[in-house]
Amino acid sequence: MKILITYGTRYGSTAQISQWMKERMPSSAEVSLLTVSQVESVSAFTHVIIGSPLYDNDLLPEVKRFIAEFDDDLYNKHMGVFGVALSHLGRGLYGEADGGLVYFNRFFNYLPTKPIYSRLLGGALHPELLNDRDRKLLEAYYRAKGSKQIPFEQEMDKEQVWEYVEKYLDFVAVKTRLQEKMNRTSPE
Ligand SMILES: Cc1cc2nc3c(=O)[nH]c(=O)nc-3n(C[C@H](O)[C@H](O)[C@H](O)COP(=O)(O)O)c2cc1C
């Protein structure tokens, strides 16, 4: 197994989550952990896991660029995707009824094929790290909700991330068994 875990991040929580994923991979696997901007080719990998935080109910632009650039090459990979988000923001920023779902539907729209496994994972919000644009945006958002300041939020959970990897590997095993069975039964 040659696995690429690749992600976009603005403030580091998706990088941390991707690192936790790498730790949970089997020792027999060759695992590369790269930001989407660092990836030059995916051809050497059999497995690709793509992660993006949710910003304004969408993926980061560089993750969308990555998917568009490697579109055809991703088609035959064992592909997993994950989103990183704060659930309450996901439900409210632009009045979306369920931001997490809206976001995931968008993720699927960008992909060349259905992933083996996908899940939205808990992220974090560190107000002191925010750039000016994001601070202003979130100040307005929280003000509208009656909050004087942007709160510190922490929904990151290593167990949830490891569970993601376990499920992903389970589904890879099921798909591989099915493919082997079909290869055995298909006529020459
Ligand atoms: C400006 C801004 C917009 C955000 N928009 C959303 C959103 O629409 N839905 C959501 O669930 N989380 C939203 N978040 C929360 C981020 O997804 C969360 O903080 C995530 O952990 C950030 O990942 P990163 O540290 O890898 O950049 C937003 C955060 C910021 C700062």
CB of 184 closer than 8 Å to CB of 42: no
* Interatomic CA distance for residues 126 and 107, integer angstroms: 25
| 120 SS3 class | strand
At residue 92, the pLDDT reads 46
pLDDT single digits (tens) 56-108: 878 999 999 999 999 999 999 999 999 998 865 555 444 445 556 666 677 88
Q: Which of 115, 123, 155, 154 is nearest to 14 (CA)?
A: 123
Residue type, 135: R
Ligand 1, from 125, 132, 138: best to mutate by most atoms within 8 Å of Cβ? 125
At residue 95, the pLDDT reads 47
pLDDT single digits (tens) 104-158: 677 888 999 989 999 889 899 999 999 999 999 999 988 988 889 999 999 999 9
- Give the homologous superfamily in CATH for domain 2-126+153-185: Flavodoxin domain (3.40.50.360)
Retrieve residue 55's tokens.
Answer: 């910003």
Ligand 1, from 89, 103, 161: best to mutate by most atoms within 8 Å of Cβ? 89
Q: Show the 3-state SS of 46-85.
A: CEEEEEEECECCECCHHHHHHHHHCHHHHCCCEEEEEEEE
186 pLDDT band (50/70/90 cuts)? confident
